Amino acid sequence: MNTAPNPICWIIAGPNSAGKTTFALQYLPAVASCPNFVNADSIAAGLSPLAPERELIAASRLFLKEIENRIQSKQNFAFETTLSGRSYLKLIRRLHTEGWLIELLYLALPSVETSKLRVAERVAHGGHSIPMRDIERRFPRSLRNLLRVETVTSSVPNYSIN
Q: Tell me what percent of the residues of the chain surpass a pLDDT of 70.
A: 93
Domain definitions of the chain by residue range: 8-160
List residues bridging with 105 in a β-sheet: 12
The CA distance from 133 to 113, in Å, is: 12
The CATH number of the domain covering residues in 8-160? 3.40.50.300
Residue 3: what pLDDT? Answer: 53
- Residue 159's pLDDT band (cuts 50, 70, 90): low
- Residue 53's pLDDT band (cuts 50, 70, 90): confident
Interval 131-142 mean pLDDT: 96
At position 13, the amino acid (one-letter code) is A
**Per-residue CA distances from 59 to 12, 45, 118, 129 (Å):** 18, 9, 23, 16
- What does residue 148 show for φ and ψ, rounded to 5 degrees? -75, -35
20-35 per-position pLDDT tens digit: 999 999 999 999 999 9
Model pTM greater than 0.75? yes
Residue 151: what pLDDT? Answer: 76
**12 has a pLDDT exceeding 90:** yes
pLDDT mean across residues, the chain = 90
